[in-house]
Amino acid sequence: MRPPWCGRRTRGIPLGLLALWVAAARCLQSQGVSLYIPQSAINATVQEDILLSVEYSCHGVPTIEWKYTSNWGVQRIVEWKPGTPANVSHSHRDRVCTFDNGSIQLFSVGVRDAGCYVITVTEHPGSSQFGTIVLRVSEIRYEDLHFVAVFFALLAAVAVVLISLMWVCNQCAYKLQRKRRFKLKESTTEDIEMKDVQC
C-alpha cells in the first residue's frame, strides 16, 4: 500500500508546471502591445481640425511615434512617452496636439496633409505595434458650394430682371416707332393735300 503523500506528490508536480506555464504566458501577453484604431480612413476638407484617434494597451509606458508618408517620402511628426512633453518635428510645430491614449489632433489641415499616417507604439525593443490611418483632404468646402449656389441664383435673378426690362423697352420702342410712322404718314398726306391746293 502506497503512502498517501505519494499520490499527492505525483499530482503536485504537473500542477506546479501548469501554474508556471500560465504565469509565463500571462507575462508574455502583458509584454505585448495592442493597438486599436476605430477609424482607419478619414475624409476631411481644408481648414478642418482632425483627430487621428487610436487607443493602445500595454504593460508599461511605451514610446509613441507618428509618421507621415506620402508620395514625397516619410516624415516624422511627433514622438513622446505618455505623461511627458512631446517632441514635435519642425514641420508640424504648433499644428499638432497629443493625447495620452496615443491619438493626435492636426489643426487646420491642408491638401498637402493628405496621405498615410503611421503610428508605432514601442514598449521596448522587439515589442512594438503599428497601425495606419489614411487621410483624404478635399479642397471644396460645403460653405463654398453653398456660396457658389447662392451666387448663381443671384446671377439668374439679375438675368431674368434684365431680360424682362429689355422686353418692356422693346415693346415701348416698337409702339413709339409705330406712332412716329403714323405721324409721318399724316404729315406727308397733308403735304400732298397742300400741293394739290397750290395747283
Ligand X SMILES: *[C@@H]1O[C@H](CO)[C@@H](O)[C@H](O)[C@H]1NC(C)=O
Residues at the contact surface with ligand X, assessed by CB under 6 A: 38, 41, 43, 51, 53-55, 87, 99, 101, 103, 136
Separation CA 191–CA 185 (nearest Å) = 10
Type of residue found at 162: L
Q: Quick one: 18 or 74, whose CB is closer to ligand X?
A: 74
Q: In what order do the strands lie in the sheet with 87-88?
A: 41-45, 127-138, 115-124, 63-70, 73-80, 87-88
Query: Which residue, 78, 70, 147, 157, is CA-closest to 114?
Result: 70
State which residue, 1 or 41, has the beta carbon closest to ligand X: 41
Q: Kindly tell me which of 123 and 137 has the beta carbon lying closer to ligand X.
A: 137
Shortest Cβ 17–ligand X spacing (Å):
39
Q: Which is nearer to ligand X, 14 or 85 (CB)?
A: 85
The least CB distance from residue 169 to ligand X, in Å, is: 50
The nearer residue to ligand X, 46 or 51, going by C-beta atoms, is 51
Q: What are phi and psi of 100, to 5 degrees?
A: -65, -25
CB 86, min distance to ligand X, A:
9
Least CB distance from residue 32 to ligand X, whole Å? 18
Q: How far is the CB of 46 from ligand X (least distance, A)?
A: 15
Residue 94 backbone class (left: φ over 0; alpha: ψ -120 to 50; beta: rest): left
